[in-house]
Amino acid sequence: MKRVHIVGGGLAGLSAAVALARREIPTTMYEAGPQAGGRCRSYFDREMSCRLDNGNHLLLSGNQVAMAYLATIGARDTVMIPEVARFPFCDLESGERWTVAPNIGRIPWWLLVPRRRVPGTRLRDYLALGRLVRVGPEMTVAAALGGLGPLYRRLLEPLAIAALNTRPEVAQAQLLAAVVQGTLGQGGGACRPCLPREGLSESLVLPALGWCAARRGRLITGCRIAGVRTESGRVVALQGPKGEIAVGPDEAVVLAVPAWVAPTLLPGVPAPDAFEAILNLHYRSAGLSAGLPPEGTFLGLLGGTAEWAFVKKGVVSVTISAANALLDVAGEALAERVWKDLRRAFSLPEEMPPVRVVREKRATFQATAAQAARRPAADWPARHAGLTNVVLAGDWTATGLPATIEGAISSGIAAAAAVRAG
């Protein structure tokens, strides 16, 4: 293989580039935006005068593919990995607080210690989680786990919404099962919450670009690919902003664009077509530190609008997932509402500090059975469109995982393998 052309510079495209560079295959990546990273990026916000992540992203130490990616690109130290798994929660209605604290090893003895569990739960509630192994594709998260009382409402529901970005009443239980298997199912050691020290780009994007650049991997930004030209079962050119980019006989293409773009480049490709928003509200934290827990910590919030609060450098950032219903709420009104939640959780002043509301409208595909059935494999173009030198990547392809960092990186690796196999 002389060169692989990668369309899209999100984590899927980056991980394909890294996997190909490991095999000494040169790559050129075409990214429509001004920087790589896609839905997982950092940028300088002039009004807030600080660097922000587009949204808080949580990795778990059990996300093996993501951890291996970080190790390959030399960025593992850019992520904070705590020694133990701790998930603190606050119920905004009752004021109750608790911390879920699984032990590190695979034998879950923490379940025998009531203060490490969710208040009001019994050991047998946790054992019922085993039913996730047997769920069929049509079973929803709420149908599978909704009967587990406080364990569901105070832990499983918020975790499922965060992992699947979809309301549990419609979210596919199988996708949650895949997450649980790789994390909680492996013991507390695999559940340690990992956050970037500086920002998403500093951990997941810039080190990958540097690593690839040293191995004949190029990035061209501001380069939207508008179409592909095919001849005799091969892609022979990409339509770039300045004209055609030739794809030579010994060259291949990885389409690592989002689900809503792929069918415009490859007509007929199945792809999820229903999406969920994630909202992030970043409040400037200068002067608030006395009322906040230390930088690098987070808190799960129940009973309000805010779902997770992260204390970061210069900001306290709130995430609200599965947020389509909030897209029409005006920024100021939403910020006031969420600030009230934060004040109930922490000792903060009444006056709201400057805030940036980031709405990622199509943050992920809806993790429903119907949408999961629309996910193609990396080699779909060869199998179904007779195109032998193009493969697919993206968190929406058939990784078996929800749309996550782990899923996106896995998809890039699968695409790189399919390129080599093709």
Ligand X SMILES: Cc1cc2nc3c(=O)[nH]c(=O)nc-3n(C[C@H](O)[C@H](O)[C@H](O)COP(=O)(O)OP(=O)(O)OC[C@H]3O[C@@H](n4cnc5c(N)ncnc54)[C@H](O)[C@@H]3O)c2cc1C
Please identify which residue in 16, 118, 145, 363 interacts with ligand X, judged by CB under 6 A.
363
Residue with tokens 């006395």: 290
Q: Which lies closer to ligand X via its Cβ, residue 206 or residue 348? A: 206
Distances (CA, A) of 187 to 107, 150, 163, 184, 405: 7, 21, 18, 5, 20
292 makes contact with ligand X (CB under 6 A): no
Span interacting with ligand X, options 30-38, 96-104, 124-132, 340-348, rule CB under 6 A:
30-38
Burial of 347 (0-12, 13-18, 19+ CB in 10 A): exposed
Span interacting with ligand X, options 9-17, 101-109, 114-122, 187-195, rule CB under 6 A:
9-17
Please identify which residue in 17, 20, 55, 398 interacts with ligand X, judged by CB under 6 A.
55
Calpha distance 1→422 (Å, rounded) = 10
30 makes contact with ligand X (CB under 6 A): yes
Beta bridge mates, 172: 140
Q: How far is the CB of 13 from ligand X (least distance, A)?
A: 6
Give the SS3 label for residue 393: coil
Q: How far is the CB of 294 from ligand X (least distance, A)?
A: 20
276 makes contact with ligand X (CB under 6 A): no
Please identify which residue in 4, 10, 161, 324 interacts with ligand X, judged by CB under 6 A.
10
Q: Which lies closer to ligand X via its Cβ, residue 141 or residue 205? A: 205
Contacts with ligand X by CB under 6 A: the residue count is 37
Residues between 399 and 418 that touch ligand X (CB under 6 A): 403-408
Per the CB < 8 A criterion, the answer to whether 379 and 422 are in contact is yes
11-22 vs 64-72: helix axis angle to the nearest 10?
Answer: 60
Q: Which lies closer to ligand X via its Cβ, residue 7 or residue 139? A: 7
Per the CB < 8 A criterion, the answer to whether 230 and 389 are in contact is no
9 makes contact with ligand X (CB under 6 A): yes
Q: Which lies closer to ligand X via its Cβ, residue 145 or residue 162? A: 162
By C-alpha distance, which of 221, 132, 210 is closest to 171?
132
194 makes contact with ligand X (CB under 6 A): no
195 makes contact with ligand X (CB under 6 A): no
Per the CB < 8 A criterion, the answer to whether 272 and 374 are in contact is yes
157-164 vs 173-182: helix axis angle to the nearest 10?
Answer: 100
Q: Which lies closer to ligand X via its Cβ, residue 7 or residue 20? A: 7
Calpha distance 319→304 (Å, rounded) = 12
The DSSP element (H or E) to which 409 belongs, if any, is helix 405-421
String of contacts with ligand X for each residue 231-270, x by CB under 6 A: -------------------------xxx--x---------
8 makes contact with ligand X (CB under 6 A): yes
The set of residues, in sequence order, having a beta carbon less than 8 Å from that of 232 and lying 6+ positions away, is none
Tally Cβ neighbours within 10 Å of residue 372. Answer: 20
The set of residues, in sequence order, having a beta carbon less than 8 Å from that of 204 and lying 6+ positions away, is 11, 14, 37, 40, 69, 70, 75, 196, 405
229 makes contact with ligand X (CB under 6 A): no
Q: Which lies closer to ligand X via its Cβ, residue 58 or residue 274? A: 58
Please identify which residue in 3, 122, 224, 374 interacts with ligand X, judged by CB under 6 A.
224
Please identify which residue in 394, 414, 415, 418 interacts with ligand X, judged by CB under 6 A.
394
Q: Which two tokens stand for residue 25?
A: 């295959």
33 makes contact with ligand X (CB under 6 A): yes
Q: How far is the CB of 8 from ligand X (least distance, A)?
A: 3
Rule CB under 6 A: which residues touch ligand X? 7-13, 30-33, 38-40, 54-55, 57-58, 224-225, 256-258, 261, 278, 280, 360, 363-364, 394-395, 403-408
